[in-house]
Amino acid sequence: MYLGIDLGTSEVKALVIDENNGVVATHSAPLTIQRPKPHWSEQSPEAWWEATEYLIATLREKCGHRWQAIKAIGLSGQMHGAVLLDAAGEPLRPAILWNDTRCAQECAELEEMAPELHQVAGNLAMPGFTAPKLLWVRRHEPQNFSRLATVLLPKDYLRFKMTGKKISDMSDSAGTLWLDVGKRDWSDALLEKCGLSRAAMPALVEGCEVSAVLEPAVARRWGLNPSVIVAGGGGDNAVSAIGVGAVSPGDAFISLGTSGVLFVVTDAYRPAPQSAVHAFCHVLPNLWHQMSVMLSAASCLQWFCRLVGVTELELLEEIAQLSDAEKASAPMFLPYLSGERTPHNDPNARGMFWGLTHSSQRALMGYAVLEGVSFGIADGLRVLQESGTQIEQCSLVGGGARSPFWAQLLADILAMPVVTHKGGETGGALGAARLACLAAGKPLASVCEKPEVYKTWRSDPARHRALMTRYRQFNALYQNDLNYRNP
């Protein structure tokens, strides 16, 4: 059997599959985010490890005598987080997460001092990425920077605790702004600009390769053979791609989790930083991918449900009852609760409802939230298309994939088929388990089959036209707000 561990922002998820790719057991443990100051978003690396230990104990119980059959472990994780370790391998401070936007000033400085950044790293310097976080630490926490021995990404901290080895993979490392994404190797020049060198970086492997084996003490505690291997793993979106079988150029999916992602596989390194499109390595050799990323997606729906005291299920049922006329007159919602990446690269963008009246009950406002997030995905599709990337259809994964209404809304807005899969909600953990299979020597064709299609949602031309009128209004609202903030 094969174990996949997915370290997300809101939870750690673990999943066990058998030789035939069948899911044997799955479990998750919640995580909390600390926001001690405006723009800050942090988590304790020790909390990730505690959650992982709990999941291992739980899955071991669920699997019973079959637990011993685990041969390999794969890892998936939230990208860009900065885990700072001292010489003893202890965290110097809480991890600074991908949705932390404190380092906007350092981004501007990095762009200025590293004119080669866009071509080498394939991306704009954005507050979410790892490199500007380290520039911030160097300026504001010099005592921590002076004691820094190693920078790890979140899922690589779990690997370090499991194996004692400091290793990362190409896909996750591509999100640091220190990787030469075309060459799939650290850029000494970009590291130097941040006051770092290769000595502070983990070794690199491909996501589907063996990275290390379990430390004997960890293997004993977990009831596993010490010969269990740990795959390179990858950033959450690239690993989710493995979970939905996106392994060929042109394969694409939308992930509606805490953040919103439109992901497409490419056969070459194709940076398009001018539109805040991300270009990263895939977890498979000789493949890359482009992504548009919005910082708040399903988290907008969670926020609104907390605000009005309703469950997501109840609200989605109420939204589904709305007539076309009601939806056409709904308020507009800008989903920028944490700023925005693609296409605006604007950490100061803010969310808003516009057009409220006395008749704006919660179902209409809930619809506006779903629509606003979907328009954000449409922004991403537009700039991907402008960069020369064509997408024929998209799989839908993440928490948002559980809503038939949302799937249909996306199909109508994007004017393309949207496909949901059976078991699609396990994308990251399933992809991690599949990487474990690949690292153990199983062939790609048998491991990375596309999951069974649950339903294909097709666009209705009349609904698409009506939604495009609202989409233009959506874009004008952001532009007006930008003009207001920058007169």
Q: With beta carbons less than 8 A apart as the criterion, state whether 262 and 252 touch.
A: yes
Q: By CB neighbour count within 10 A (0-12 exposed, 13-18 middle, 19+ buried), where does 325 fall?
A: exposed
- Residue whose C-alpha is closest to residue 76's, from 435, 432, 448: 432
CA separation for the pair 193, 277 (Å, rounded) = 23
- Which residue intervals of 97-228 are DSSP H helices? 104-113, 117-121, 130-140, 142-146, 154-163, 170-173, 188-193, 216-222
Q: Which residues of 239-251 are buried (b: 16+ CB within 10 A; e: fewer)?
A: bbbbbbbbbeeeb
236 among known catalytic residues: yes
Q: With beta carbons less than 8 A apart as the criterion, state whether 363 and 319 touch.
A: yes
Task: Please list, in sequence order, all residues whose beta carbon lies within 8 angstroms of the beta carbon of residue 487, skipping any fewer than 6 positions away.
Answer: none
Query: Which H or E element spans position 205?
Result: strand 203-205
CA separation for the pair 444, 438 (Å, rounded) = 7
Angle at 236 between CA 233 and CA 242, to 5 degrees: 65
The DSSP secondary-structure symbol of 91 reads B
| 79 in a labelled binding site | yes
| Residue of 236, 251, 379, 481 marked catalytic | 236
| Backbone φ and ψ of 12, nearest 5° | -105, 130
N-term to C-term CA, the chain: 59
Q: With beta carbons less than 8 A apart as the criterion, state whether 4 and 429 touch.
A: yes
Compute the chain's Rg from CA coordinates: 22
- Residue whose C-alpha is closest to residue 389's, from 213, 271, 239: 271
| Backbone φ and ψ of 480, nearest 5° | -65, -40
Tokens of 334: 């800008």
Q: What length does the chain have?
A: 487
CA separation for the pair 141, 137 (Å, rounded) = 5
- Residue whose C-alpha is closest to residue 179's, from 164, 166, 194: 194
User: Catalytic residue numbers?
Assistant: 236
Which residues are known binding-site members for substrate?
79-80
Which residues are known binding-site members?
79-80
